[in-house]
Amino acid sequence: MTPNILVVGSGFSGAVLAHQLACNMDCQIDIWEEKSHIAGNCFTERDRKTDIMVHRYGPHIFNTDKKEIWDFVNGFIQLQPFAHKVKAIYNGQVYSLPVTLHTINQFFKKTYSPAEAKAFIESLANKSISEPQNFEEQALKFIGHDLYKAFFYSYTKKQWGCEPSELPASILKRLPVRFNYDDSYYNNSLVGIPKEGYTEFVQKLLDRQNIHLTLNRKFLPEDDYSSYSHIFFTGPLDAFFNYKFGRLGYRTVTFEPFYFEGDFQGTAVINYCDESVKYTRITEHKHFTPWEKHEKTICFKEYSKETSGSDIPFYPKRLAADKKLLSLYRREAEKLQNVSFLGRLATYRYMDMHHVIDEALHFADKFKDAFIKNLKRPVFPNVEPT
């Protein structure tokens, strides 16, 4: 019997999974998307006033150290190599992020060599912290008090809505310190942006005869889904269970657009690290497509806030109380038959795009094998609920 599969959500997780199943199984797949468009928070479109390709839910720069993932994406669209540079404004000065040799010398008004700068930062580091228990301790152990206060303390409070000491240390592990003048934001060697945006990528993934897309269709857990052999849910895990144990903590982002003649800030992203500035950063989207030329520009001020019932969840907070709720929801999910959960919202993890794609590819293979061999179908990817 040909399986009839429902995929909830057309972001990267749902789209990659649906494409792989449609290509490798004799099945029919319905995709329900709650939004009026595909591609989830990676949705891109041309701005009507400027013709600039805009990342409607904030900038997404594709980066990976896995060539097979880079090649997979390039099999559908053209990824243009992109050098992502981030600047930060603190106390009236402009600095480069992540913290580099230039940042250190500029901030402390020194002319250190790499070895001298490394020794200097080690002298500032809090050596009493052996195993950092939170974001703040991780920062103090890495870079000491002054750099932490300048570039991370207030910015982090604005972004996450709590003291950095309440956040897990793992968040800061993604922010490197370099003792050279390399100001590339990412450590990964493969960095790019789709020439015609991310929406094109998802469109081509879903361009299969056995994939049927419905926009503006909300999944309601209480409805009857017995006509489907299997459901893949990529939305918020707590929403699937109607928040029966309470809401998991998320931060959301609101965007305040404005237009400008010419070039507003000279780069794609500037972080605002002073607590007195209420927005976290300004993004200027024409700098994400340096291969295009635009006389006008569109920018967005980004504000972070707690997610309410009507907001789009962006970043899982994963505080101690959230992790307890997560364990309850995962136990409920494991009891279900013929339902799987995939993606950053359904697994309640911070995930970059290349992680999402990689996991969806492997999950599709795992499901296909289980279906063919009549084994128990996977409920979650092979990850621990940490």
Q: Is 330 a catalytic residue?
A: no
Pick the catalytic residue from 186, 281, 344, 359. 281
Pick the catalytic residue from 30, 47, 178, 198. 178
CA distance 349 to 65: 20
For residue 320, count other CB atoms closer than 10 A to its CB.
8
Strand order, beta sheet including 230-233? 211-215, 28-33, 4-8, 230-233, 339-341
Report helix, strand or coil for 82.
Answer: coil
Q: Is 329 a catalytic residue?
A: no
Pick the catalytic residue from 33, 284, 302, 359. 302
Q: Is 359 a catalytic residue?
A: no
Radius of gyration for the chain, computed over Cα atoms and rounded to the nearest angstrom: 22
CA distance 158 to 303: 8
Contacts of 74 (CB under 8 A, 6+ apart): none
Q: Is 352 a catalytic residue?
A: yes
Q: Is 350 a catalytic residue?
A: yes
Sign of torsion over alpha carbons 174, 179, 180, 181: positive
**Structure tokens, 67:** 């060539």
DSSP 8-state assignment for residue 152: I
Query: How far is CA 298 from its chain centroid?
Result: 22
DSSP 8-state assignment for residue 99: B
Pick the catalytic residue from 112, 225, 303, 350. 350
Q: Is 207 a catalytic residue?
A: no
Pick the catalytic residue from 65, 71, 122, 174. 174
CA distance 10 to 33: 6
**Structure tokens, 107:** 């901030």
- 352 and 315 Cβ atoms separated by less than 8 Å: no
Q: Is 57 a catalytic residue?
A: no
Pick the catalytic residue from 228, 238, 251, 329. 251
Catalytically active residues are: 174, 178, 251, 281, 302, 350, 352
